Structure 1
Amino acid sequence: MQRVTITLDDELMQELDSLIETRGDQNRSEAIRDLVRAGLKEATRNAKGDEPCIGVLSYVYDHAARDLARRLTNSFHHHHDLTIASLHVHLDTENCLEVGILKGSMNEVQHFSDHITAERSVRHGSVQIIPLQGSED
């Protein structure tokens, strides 16, 4: 077993502790291992090659984070061929929700979604992949 050191902001740590209490996990390490396993399983399940799909990418981000809004916008512009539509919602004075509807191969949609949700100060990002079986582009 390997030891890994991570830094979590206070709010995320409170959420993790609350989850641990609710689920009855024995400690933080076991809870984090379970979450990593679930995340790896989800990532593996979603990556299905070149089959066409629709992706619904949703994420919340801190609009005041340095250059984040510009980087996100540039990413969508550089992948304009994947983007069908997008929605931007101001949740409060600090947070924005964006939803992007994407169309492309499962690999392309998953890769782009991973890139967006991995940006620093992007929170709660997820993508729902909907296969387009038997359809033509």
Structure 2
Amino acid sequence: MSVTRFGVSLDEELLKALDDYVSDNAFANRSQAIRHLIEKNMVEEKWKCDNIVAGAVVLVYNHDKKEILKKSTDIQYYYKDFVLSVQGFYLNNINYMEIIAVKGPSKKLTEISEKLISIKGIQHGKLVMSKAQ
């Protein structure tokens, strides 16, 4: 892939924000950060168009609360056409992390994640999506 160089003019405040972003995310340079931001924006635009995307729903909860696992499993079964795989990990004696790999229209994956994340007792939940094609 060839690279084209071009100049960008930014005011001081925006340049400082970009430099902070580079530093906070351990990018090698500003160009890498700008590429990342552009690609991220392109993916997010595809989500709005309801394109087919792949993703993961990450949930953290107390594994001793069996009703959480049951509700999560029920939701996954209801959306089985979009769930690719599920992995679970004990983070410690109590906390459990469940990663649910999903693929489908972005609106449907958002719907699934909202149902999962809203289960009473979920300590943390997040959907991450990326282009699938």
TM-score by length of 2: 0.61
AA matched with 1:116: L
Task: Give unmatched runs, 5+ long, in structure 1.
Answer: 1-44
Distance 1:82 1:61, change over 3 A: same
What is the match of residue 54 of structure 1? Answer: 54
Paired with 2:65 and 2:85, the residues of 1 have a C-alpha distance of 24
Distance verdict in 2 for CA 1:106–1:119, change over 3 Å: same
Q: What CA deviation, in whole Å up to 9, does each residue of 1:103-127 have, x standing for no partner?
A: 0000000110111011111122111
SS of the residue corresponding to residue 72 of structure 2 reads helix
Residue in 2 that maps onto 1:68: 68
Separation of aligned partners in 1, 2:66 and 2:96:
14
Alignment deviations for residues 36-93 of structure 1 (CA, whole Å, 9 cap, x no partner)? xxxxxxxxx6851421000111110111225111111111111110111111111222
Matched residue pairs, number? Answer: 89
Q: Following TM superposition, where does structure 1 have runs of at least 4 consecutive aligned residues deviating by more than 6 angstroms?
A: none
- 1:31-50 matched pairs, under 5 angstroms: 48-50=48-50
Equivalent positions of 1:54-133 (< 5 A) are 54-65=54-65, 67-132=67-132
Kindly, what percent of the aligned residue pairs are identical? 18
Distance 1:57 1:71 in 2: 15
